[in-house]
Amino acid sequence: MVTSNLAGLDGSPYQQYLYAYPHKTSYRALRPRPLLADVWRAEPRDALFLYAHVPFCEMRCGFCNLFTRTGAPAEQVTAYLRQLRRQAERVADALGGDAGYARVAFGGGTPTYLTAGELTELFDIATSTLGARLPGVPLSVETSPATATPERLAVLAAHGTTRVSIGVQSFLDAEARAAGRPQRRAEVEAALGAIRDAAIPLLNVDLIYGIDGQTADTWRQSLEAALVWRPEELYLYPLYVRPLTGLGRRAHARADWDAQRLALYAQAVEVLGAAGYRQESMRQFRRADVPAPDGPDYCCQDDGMVGLGCGARSYTTGLHYSFDYAVSVSEVRAVLDDYLARPAGDFAYAEFGFALDGTEQRRRWLLKSLLRAEGVDAAAYAARFGVAPGDDFPELGRLVERGWATDGGLRLTPAGLARSDAVGPWLTSARVRRAMTGYVPR
């Protein structure tokens, strides 16, 4: 029987965004360093996810705790792409000639911080060095209002980009400033127009709720401004204030903040539902007339991820690994400098990571499914692990008792989806929690 943390459901509904499991702050230095060829030898490699990380932005948003630096000199960007290719060569050697990619994503940072020529080089690394079929498989690229220029978008379109995700956060200039992201709405609208003109099939717009000074009226204004563009997807993020971020350095304690975020979330669910959007998770909303991405099958619970770049993670069945992680400006630069100085041979090894035993593999499968609107496929879980998910996780009944789940705890109700950021941490294992608690932000 797999056990969980039974405390925490009565606390804040906004404890942690569990976008991956286990969280990167649970990773530790791997000693001895395992060879990637050994790590991947027994893994299925025909339907991989390729993720390339570009750790550069034109500015650091006040809420951001991602691995990125601003104001990078051109020569550092050039050096980064050169090193990225060296890493890709070692990864390709480790995977062997039979590796195939079912999904590709470029994230960051802001990939479109790169010039059009540099983006072309990034695509060449993915295709020529690693063998990704582009065009040919779903490809998502993140952008920002300041960098979504027609020239860059033309490169994305020419290489088969199927999805562009733009971080708008708020259409109101004052709210954007309050979130530590100074921008003007005219720039946002121009970027959205350029994306639509580029005819990339799927547009995603990111918005944030819970910003200081935001009200139900201003939140509706942002939602309605986004809907003018009929984006195929919207991601709505509750604001978090994290250590070492711009907002984290300010005092930020409001007794009504949880209630406000829950109310704004409920408002958005209603507005987007009325506009023809289907809720896929707490954060993701997809226009109901938009089909699922066309391409080779990819199962996020089972299929591996190959990460390129100093901020990327890679996932196999038994090991999640990456390079070191930091948030503060000085520490990010130190990690980036270390990546750029590494000899090519270093990229044949995994550096930092977390080994998943059978118990953690089951927990990851559960969490990657439960926090989606469709919930856990009990038959698929049983086929994979030889036991019903309810036998491994009897505490899911607690969610049913609260009205947060149905189907024996395998599918979240609307109330449960709203509290995904409490449910995920509640189901995090004691081992992972200990490792996360021991992490010192830097």
CA distance 314 to 303: 11
The 3-state DSSP class for residue 394 equals coil
Condensed to tens digits (0 to 9), the pLDDT of residues 375-392 reads 999 999 999 999 999 999
Query: For position 137, which CATH number holds?
Result: 3.80.30.20
If we measure between CA atoms, which residue out of 191, 143, 195, 196 comes closest to residue 167?
A: 143
* Residue 328 is assigned to a structural domain of this protein: no
Measured over the CA atoms of residue 35, residue 311, residue 142 and residue 263, the dihedral's sign is positive
| Statement to judge: residues 276 and 365 lie in one domain | no
Task: Please give the angle made by the CA atoms of 315, 320 and 324, to the nearest 5 degrees.
Answer: 120
* Residue 326 is assigned to a structural domain of this protein: no
Cβ-based neighbours of 32, under 8 Å, separated by 6 or more = none
Structure-token pair, residue 226: 């986004």
- CA 118 → CA 80, 123, 154, 308, 328, distances in Å? 11, 9, 13, 16, 26
Structure-token pair, residue 25: 């702050």
Measured over the CA atoms of residue 368, residue 370, residue 375 and residue 379, the dihedral's sign is positive
Cβ-based neighbours of 411, under 8 Å, separated by 6 or more = 370, 373, 374, 375, 376, 405
CA distance 354 to 55: 22
pTM score, two decimals? 0.93
| Statement to judge: residues 273 and 126 lie in one domain | yes
* Residue 347 is assigned to a structural domain of this protein: no
Residue 381 identity: Y
Query: For position 421, which CATH number holds?
Result: 1.10.10
| Statement to judge: residues 80 and 190 lie in one domain | yes
| Statement to judge: residues 244 and 392 lie in one domain | no
pLDDT of amino acid 97: 87
Give the end of a domain, one of 248, 263, 287.
287
Please tell me what DSSP assigns to residue 128.
I
Element holding 156 (H helix, E strand): helix 150-158
- Token pair 């409001």 is found at 254
Give the end of a domain, one of 287, 318, 336.
287
pLDDT of amino acid 179: 78
| Statement to judge: residues 282 and 388 lie in one domain | no
CA distance 304 to 324: 20
Confidence of residue 64 (pLDDT cuts 50, 70, 90): low
| Statement to judge: residues 269 and 363 lie in one domain | no
* Residue 37 is assigned to a structural domain of this protein: yes
The per-residue pLDDT of the chain, averaged, comes to 91
What sections of 3-149 are H helices per DSSP? Answer: 36-40, 74-95, 116-124
Structure-token pair, residue 175: 């709210």
| β-pairing verdict for 305-308 and 48-54 | parallel
* Residue 340 is assigned to a structural domain of this protein: no
| Statement to judge: residues 122 and 266 lie in one domain | yes
| Statement to judge: residues 60 and 157 lie in one domain | yes
| Statement to judge: residues 279 and 364 lie in one domain | no
If we measure between CA atoms, which residue out of 380, 351, 350 comes closest to residue 366?
A: 380
* Residue 313 is assigned to a structural domain of this protein: no
pLDDT of amino acid 183: 86
Structure-token pair, residue 249: 């350095």
CA distance 90 to 208: 39
Give the end of a domain, one of 243, 263, 287.
287
CA distance 69 to 333: 7
* Residue 318 is assigned to a structural domain of this protein: no
Confidence of residue 401 (pLDDT cuts 50, 70, 90): very high
* Residue 442 is assigned to a structural domain of this protein: no
| Statement to judge: residues 146 and 275 lie in one domain | yes
pLDDT of amino acid 333: 83
Specify the number of domains making up the chain: 2
**Residue numbers of the domain that contains 60:** 27-287
CA distance 298 to 306: 13
The 3-state DSSP class for residue 22 equals coil
pLDDT of amino acid 300: 67
CA distance 252 to 238: 15
| Statement to judge: residues 270 and 362 lie in one domain | no
Backbone angles phi, psi at 145, to 5 degrees: -55, -35
Residue 314 has pLDDT above 90, yes or no: yes
pLDDT of amino acid 65: 53
| Other CB atoms within 10 Å distance of the CB of residue 230 | 13
| Statement to judge: residues 271 and 366 lie in one domain | no
